[in-house]
Amino acid sequence: MDTAAAEWTARDDGREHRPPGRRFGAWCAGLLFTGVSVVLGFRTADSDGITPVPQLLAFLPWLLVPTAVALLLTLLSRWWPGTVWGVVLLGLLAWFIEPYGKAGDPVGRPVADLRVLTSNVEFGQGTAALVTTVRREKPDVVFVEECDYACDALLKRDLSADYPHRRAVEGGGSEGSVILSRFRLRPTGGVPGTMGMPGAVADVDGHAVRLQLAHPMPPLPGQVDLWHRELAALREAATADPGTPLVLAGDFNASQDHAAFRRILDTGLRDASRLDGADRTATWPARTAPTLGVQIDHVLVSEDFGASRTRILDLADTDHRAVVTDLTLHTTR
């Protein structure tokens, strides 16, 4: 890299050398560019790769920072091939930061409205804050992830009058999940996974709507294959009954920069945040969002739905922000 990066200067003995400071700057820029290039290479290849690529892909927009720093170093060190390299990387990042997935108004006339809220309450710790939020926002359907036994009991005590219908997978820690509904529910098998992912069919003003909670394992080192399998199971669930409108919501532990999540969107589902202009709004980690974070909590809907007033809400005592959106169901005829 020294040869490619060097700006050579004459020495008394006829040989040429590069000032040490500029050589060091070029080395640093090259290392930063190499790391960014590896991640973007997998993104370009439509692959999540292996650790640490899936973890870094979640923060893909933030790769602008090391790329910009490296580009500045190439200018200061007068490494012109590196400058070209950096400009190419910036162009690719700008391309991939654009929202992914379909958008547009559904066809047919509107027949029903419903408000949906999804929240990961972090081992049940944020349940009290969720109850307060639900009472304020008045959603028709609530998806709750990481709802442990205490969380489940609190929701039954405080919200059963307003949400008489429920589907739950009981469990401790992160394993429990619950769907609360004002609408009558018919149970479905849900999606098997390490953590609970219940499902149901709701009767929304006389129209059947499939509800499926999403909470696959995160892409932890050593568990990337499991993460892929559980996201693939959600994709299969999304295509299981194409004739029935679907709301697939929860903590996906994946962003639009993950190929496994894009496979779900490629089934025809649309992200409510994308439809309503709130895409790229960080939902995790709540402590640093929205300044620094990623959008891994989503409400995905079939093309039968329009979305409006999508908001990302802060809740106390949980590391996730909640997503609430107003949906309008349209007929397909």
Q: What is the pLDDT of residue 4?
A: 41
Q: What is the DSSP letter of 131?
A: H
Given a contact cutoff of 8 angstroms between Cβ atoms, the answer to whether 30 and 66 are in contact is no
Task: Identify the helix (H) or strand (E) that includes residue 91.
Answer: helix 80-97
pLDDT attached to residue 113: 96
pLDDT at 14 over 70: no
| pLDDT mean across residues, the chain | 92
Taking 80 as the threshold, does the pLDDT of residue 264 lie above it? Answer: yes
Over residues 319-332, the pLDDT tens digits come to 999 999 999 999 86
> What pLDDT is stored for residue 22 in this prediction?
85
Check whether 197 has a pLDDT greater than 80.
Answer: yes
pLDDT at 11 over 70: no
Segment 64-85 shows an average pLDDT of 95
> What is the mean pLDDT of the segment spanning 187-208?
97
User: To the nearest whole percent, how much of the chain has pLDDT over 70?
Assistant: 94
DSSP state of 155: H
pLDDT band at 156 (very low <50, low <70, confident <90, very high): very high
Segment 182-192 shows an average pLDDT of 96
Measured CA to CA, the distance from residue 173 to residue 328 in angstroms comes to 34
Residue 130: strand, helix, or coil: helix
Amino acid at residue number 238: A
Structure confidence at residue 18 (pLDDT): 59
Mean of pLDDT values over 87-107: 91
pLDDT at 10: 45
Give the pLDDT confidence score for residue 16 in this predicted structure.
Answer: 44
Please give the Cα distance from 47 to 224 (Å, whole number).
12
Higher pLDDT, residue 205 or 9: 205
> How is residue 316 written in tokens?
């106390």
What are the tokens at 239? 């295509």
- Rg (alpha carbons) of the chain, rounded to whole number: 24
> Looking at residue 230, what is its pLDDT?
98
pLDDT of amino acid 67: 97
Residue 19 has pLDDT above 80, yes or no: no
pLDDT in tens, 116-135: 999 999 999 999 999 999 99
Contacts of 254 (CB under 8 A, 6+ apart): 58, 216, 219, 227, 231, 260, 261, 296
| The predicted structure's pLDDT at residue 333 | 59
Q: Rounded to an integer, what distance in angstroms lies between the CA atom of residue 317 and that of residue 128? A: 9
What is the per-residue pLDDT for 6?
Answer: 41
Complete DSSP assignment for 220-278: -TT-HHHHHHHHHHHHHHHTS-TTS-EEEEEE-S--TTSHHHHHHHTTT-EEHHHHTT-
Question: Residue 297: pLDDT above 90?
Answer: yes
Whether the per-residue pLDDT at 17 is higher than 70: the answer is no
The pLDDT of 40-64, averaged and rounded, is 96
Looking at residues 140-156, what average pLDDT do you find?
Answer: 98
**Local confidence band at 101 (pLDDT 50, 70, 90 cut-offs):** confident
Predicted structure pTM score: 0.90
**Residue range 44-70: average pLDDT?**
96
pLDDT tens by residue, 240-263? 999 999 999 999 999 999 999 999
DSSP string, 177-228: EEEEESS-EEE------SS---EEEEEETTEEEEEEEE-PPP--TT-HHHHH
